[in-house]
A = this chain, B = another copy of it.
Amino acid sequence: MGALILEPLARPDGMTTHEYAHRRLRQAIMVGSIRPGESLTIRGIAEAMESSPTPVREALRRLSSEGALKVLDNRRIMVPKMTAERFGELIALRAVLEKHAARRAVAHITERQIDRLVEIDKAQDEAIARKDNAAALLLNQEFHRTLYTANPDQIIMPMVESVWLQLGPFLGIAMEHVAQLYFVDRHQEAIAALRKRDADAVAEAINADICEGIGGFERAAIENLLRLARQ
């Protein structure tokens, strides 16, 4: 019975227990700190965060609806295994979703919001410079989220986050073996296109950002990583 390691996380008051559990588990999965195939037990998690099975179960149900966890026939719950095929599907889907989200945001985004994007991008560059992978990852997500949610009627964000979640375990594997993540930054290009209100150019910048970033892993490299992880 391996004890589950969970980073403590600030709990704003008013936040319910199941919400807190959801957030903590989600973050752990997103940054790849739970290994695929590792099976999670309700009581184990409940104990790890000093609560009871009921709210933990709710958190796990949500995460499985979000694609972050898989419920087996035995009713055991685990992080889905990553394969080269699944990875390919995730990247292709991510590109399609985010191109669309970006395009749909262009008409709504304000100059003020674009300024905010510039700030976030700068902070990310600093994080990369000081080799702080975790911070850079979070800032990269914040950049994309800020852009897409500029559209007030947007409904795609939960799906984008679902893909991020499903890519999390791969990031964990990659970080174990690569030590330093390679970040691609086409954000400047996206920002310039946003200022010109050129939707096609924005979409293309986002596409490049994704495909040359995490999506740029060669298939051979992926299979190699996954083989290493299996041992």
Contact = CB atoms under 8 A, between A and B. Distances in A.
Contact of A85 (B62, B88, B89, B153): B153
A159 interface: yes
Interface stretch (A43-51, A90-98, A207-215): A90-98
A153 B61 contact: no
Given A65-B62, A66-B65, A67-B158, A100 B90 contact: no
A75 to B, nearest CB: 8
Interface in A61-120: 61-62, 64-67, 83, 85-86, 88-90, 92-93, 96-97, 100, 104
A35 interface: no
A153 B83 contact: yes
A4 interface: no
A100 B58 CA distance: 32
Nearest to A163: B155
A6 interface: no
State the main secondary structure of chain A at its contact with B. helix
Contact of A159 (B58, B62, B104, B159): B159
Contacts of A65: 61-62, 65-66, 158
B104 A89 contact: yes
- Which of A58, A65, A88, A92 has the most CB atoms of chain B within a 10 A radius of its CB? A65
Given A58-B57, A65-B65, A86 B153 contact: yes
17 contacts: A18-B61, A58-B61, A61-B61, A61-B62, A61-B65, A62-B64, A65-B66, A65-B158, A67-B155, A83-B153, A89-B151, A89-B153, A89-B155, A89-B156, A92-B100, A93-B156, A96-B97
